[in-house]
Structure formats: structure tokens, C-alpha cells
A and B are shown apart, each in its own frame.
Chain A
Amino acid sequence: MKIAICIKQVPDSWAEKKMVNGLLDRINVDAVLNDLDEYAVEEGLRIAEAHGGNEEGAANSVTVISMGPERATEAVRKALSMGANNAILISDPKLAGADALTTSKVLASVILKGEFDIVICGTESTDARMSVVPAMIAERLSCAQLTFASAVTVDPAAKKVVITRVTEAGVDEMFGQFPVVVSVVEKINEPRYPSFKGIMAAKKKTIEVLDLSAVGISIENAWSVVVDAAPRPPRAAGIRITDDGGGGDQLVKFLTEKKLI
């Protein structure tokens, strides 16, 4: 099986984020591998390992695909050190500030060329927080969309993927035939830490860096524009009390005064 994992480098969740000219300032913050994508990497590796592994000459390959600035190689290296074999980074100055429509177009083109059987994504990037890229990739590839999976089973012979997902409407089981786009929730597994051996091996792996002309597509301007962005006034400091037996009553008094109940 050819497995692709889409990963994104994002500003550290704890870093203070600022807008510059209507775009997130990505230069002056620490960047990390989107932690929700670590579950995608782990799941991809587990699927490969459960069906003959992904070492040289094995039946499967695991490729990480990322779109981002040059320095996203750090995040890509981390995925490689976890155990992925190959990596493709799409990097082009024209992609700065790309929105989900553009991102999905770029990723879908690369995925189509690579003829992958299974594409695995995280459920959301912790910076954009849209949770739409996996669905958009599925739309662009006209393939099965199996998103928000909390369990994934693959039957390589039947080219079939079955997932379990929790939705607003309950617990669903669904399936699709290769090629499929899966996104995984953080309940699905416990991502491994890169081993020393893995880190050393990752240093020798090559990252294929492509610009837009190498991908062979052109992109339009962003499809939505920021009119303005302003920091919100910080929340006014609240009331704080220490419970001395009357905390519950004071709480109810507060709720009543504020007409919250």
C-alpha cells in the first residue's frame, strides 16, 4: 500500500500569536509539527506495520506531504524520525497566506500524482482550525471521505478501509474503497516518540522540495480577505472567593444577580 500523511507545521499552541497585515505572523513564533498530525503519522505507521511494514523492500511505503515555508522541513524531519520513509514539501513564496481552498488544491495534485491508496490527515491544524482540508482533498480527488476516525481497519486485499467515528448524531461505522482520505481524532492512538535510531535515520532521508511549477498548477488569489483584525479587550478580572463553606451559596448569588439563572 502507498500511504500518504498530510502534516503541517504550525506556531506552537502556547506561543502568543499576532496578526500582521491580516495574516498570522508565522515568522516570529516557535513552530512545531501540528500535534494533531502526530496521530495521523502514528496511524499511518501502524497501518503499514500491521500489513508487512514499510522498511526498504516491504509491501508498503509511508510518505509525509507538507505544504509550508522552507523551515517546515523541521516538522517533516520529525515525522521521518518517527518512521516515515519519504517526504515531499511543497514550498513556494506564492503560497504564503494560502487558504484551505488553495492548500487542498496543492495537496490533492501531489496526492494524485503519487497514486496513494490511503491519505491520512489530522482533524485540524491548530492555527487555521478549520477542519476542512481533508474533506476538500476528498472532494478534489472524488474519493471516499472517512473523517474524524477514532478507529481504522484496513483490508489491503479488498482495498477497503473501515472506520468508526463519533458524530453529533451518534457513533457511525463507514467504509470506502482505495483511494480514501482519512482524518483521525486524538483518541485513536498514542503517538510514538522518535527513537535515537529513528532520528539518525531521518537525517539521511531526502525531502523532495517542490515549488508550484514542479507541482504543475497555478493558484488564484485568496478567496476570502480579511477586512480588519483587532485584539479584543482582555476579559475584565473576575471575582474570586475562597470556599469557607459558603462558596456554593455565593456562587448561586452571583448567578442570580447576573441573571444567568
Chain B
Amino acid sequence: MSCVLILADFIGGKNTKTTAELATAAARIGDVCAVVLAPTGQGAAYAAALVQGPISTVLVVESDGFAAHGVGAAADVLTQIIAQKNPAAVLIASHAFGKELAGRTAVKSGSGIITDAVDVAADITATQMVFGGSTTVHSKISHGTPIITLRPNSITADLKSVSPTIEMLSFDVAESSKKSTLTSSQPPVQGGRPELTEADIVVSGGRGTNGDFAAVEAFADSLGAAVGASRAATDAGWYPHSHQVGQTGKSVSPQLYVACGISGAIQHRAGMQTSKAIVVINKDPEAPIFEIADFGVIGDLFAVLPKATEGVNARKA
């Protein structure tokens, strides 16, 4: 069976649950080799985190260039691995870094690329949802090694326990791939909530919160959810930019998305329309967000959310 590369998805040194999703999709195509790009001296620790999902082999490359030079360095090494292993396909998480890495690797390796897939079949046909989720497209890559980025949370991961074989590889990062240099990096303030793109439930607040996210956060915490925000809320400085959902923020596909005081502009929808279920709380019955709601409450979020929070907490008690 041919091997399929996935790029193990580490964010801030932590393996995300997207890695198992990538492995699950890749296992339909062939034997899964997970590539781990780790800082020098941390390869073994990174590899040890890959114990879930149908992964056969972990390929570890250590370099301080990954942190220092970002996408360019990662693309350089990934291309060398592709040349050595000649995989049937390469699957990468579809976030900003993953897409750029896929793009540069496609150029370097002479391969076609598909981004934002929500599914990948055994014959390497990718499914995408375009035009705000209104159209489903199936495509295939006709050139080189298919490189596909898969949206986090789109497929159900096979979480079986595994102990893959670990192979240490050694590659140098070319000088030409070290043109941009990181000088400082501040980790995000996480506050104990799940990561937005990985969360099963996202509760978001918009202009309707009027700057007070306490009710949104309390409801999110009762559900163990991540907190998102519309651009109106991040622009006003009410919530950090990193929590913006939408075209120019993050794309999320949780099981449940709760939009509170958000009107549903097309740019907001672009980042949440593929959510499995959508619940809306908005005072204005004309708000366009109701068009895509599975359950909509016409009402004041400051009245509805505390009641709902109480209700959820009571169920748990």
C-alpha cells in the first residue's frame, strides 16, 4: 500500500485533534505517515503525542528553522520528504499556516493543490463547499502529488489508540527558505476555553452585546464551548481579534454554533455556515442570521442567555 503523508497539526507545541482527523481521512487512501516538524531536541516529545488515530509511522524532523522562519522553512522540508517518500497524497490542516504551507509546497514540488476540503475520498477526490456553503464541489488533482488541506472539525476522527513506528529524518533548510525571520511571539491568552477552530460548540457575540461579553462567556462555559466574536465586536475592541469568526477571521465548523446579537452579514456567515447546527438569539426578527438558524429566539440576549445558562447548569447538577 502506498503511503499518505499528513502534517501532524501542532499549535503552540500542542498536538491538536485535527491530526487524528487528517489521519482518518488519509487512512482511506493508504498507510498513514505523520510528519512532525519539531524544534531541535523536542522531536521525541512531539512524536510521543501522536497516540490516537490510524497512524502507522511518524516521521520526525527537528530544526530550529521551523519556529524562526515559519512557512518557508516548513515547505522546504516537506518538499524534501515528498521527494524521498513519494506519497500518494499529502493532507494538511486548513488554517492560515496549513494553507500557505500547502501553497508553497505545491509550487516547490510541482503539484496541484485543493484547499478547504471538508472531505477526502479513497480515490483522492476532495469535497469542498463553496459560495457560502450553497454549492458542493468535488475535485481531483491532475498533476504531481495531490496536496489537500482539510478543514478542522469536518470529519469524525477515528480515535483508536496506536503506537506508531518512529523514524527520525534529517534535512537542512535551504538559505533561500529562511528569508523571513520571527523576532518575537506571544502566546494567546487562552483562559482555559477550547480552541475556536477545534471546539465542538462555539458561542459568539456581536454588536448586540454592547461590549459586555459576560453573558456570552457564561453560556459558553456552561457548555464547555469556545467563544467567538463578530468583526463589529473585535473592531470595537470588545473581544480579541484572534476570536473573530468570518471571512477575515477564523472558519469554524462546530456541531453547534450559537450567534448572540449578530446580524449575519455575508462575511460573518462565510466563517460559520458549515456548522452542523445553528442557534440564534437576536432582538430583530428581520436579522438575516435567522435565515440559516435551526433554532432562533427573537429576544434580548441579556434576558435569554442567563436563563439558558441556568437551564444547562441545572441539567448537569
Contact = CB atoms under 8 A, between A and B. Distances in A.
- Are A and B interaction partners? yes
B19 to A, nearest CB: 14
A101 interface: yes
B248 A228 contact: no
Nearest to A126: B247
28 contacts: A99-B112, A100-B113, A135-B104, A138-B104, A139-B107, A143-B179, A144-B180, A145-B70, A145-B71, A145-B72, A145-B104, A168-B195, A171-B186, A172-B186, A173-B183, A174-B180, A175-B181, A185-B248, A186-B231, A224-B142, A229-B136, A235-B292, A238-B295, A242-B299, A243-B300, A243-B304, A249-B307, A251-B304
Contacts of B188: 169-171
Given A176-B180, A223-B143, A252-B308, A167 B97 contact: yes
A147 interface: yes
B11 A168 contact: yes
A166 to B, nearest CB: 5
B82 interface: no
Interface stretch (B23-31, B38-46, B55-63, B127-135): B127-135
Interface residues of A, number: 82
A130 interface: yes
Contacts of B122: none
B72 A138 contact: yes
B84 interface: no
Contacts of B304: 243, 247-248, 251
Contacts of B248: 36, 123-124, 185-186
Interface in A113-141: 123-124, 126, 129-136, 138-140
Interface of B is mostly: mixed
Given A19-B137, A139-B103, A187-B241, 19 more contacts: A13-B266, A13-B267, A101-B112, A130-B103, A132-B100, A133-B103, A170-B188, A171-B188, A172-B186, A224-B113, A224-B139, A227-B138, A242-B285, A245-B303, A248-B306, A248-B307, A248-B309, A251-B311, A260-B277
Contacts of A133: 103
Interface size class of B (residues with CB under 8 A): 35 or more
Interface in A211-261: 220-232, 235, 238-243, 245-252, 254-256, 258, 260-261
Contacts of A225: 139-142
B15 interface: no
A185 B234 CA distance: 13
Interface of B: 11-12, 70-72, 75, 95-97, 99-104, 106-108, 111-116, 125, 129-131, 133-144, 176-177, 179-188, 195, 197, 201, 223, 231, 234-235, 241-242, 247-248, 255-256, 266-267, 270, 277-279, 281, 285, 290-300, 303-312, 315
B144 A139 contact: no
A245 B300 CA distance: 10
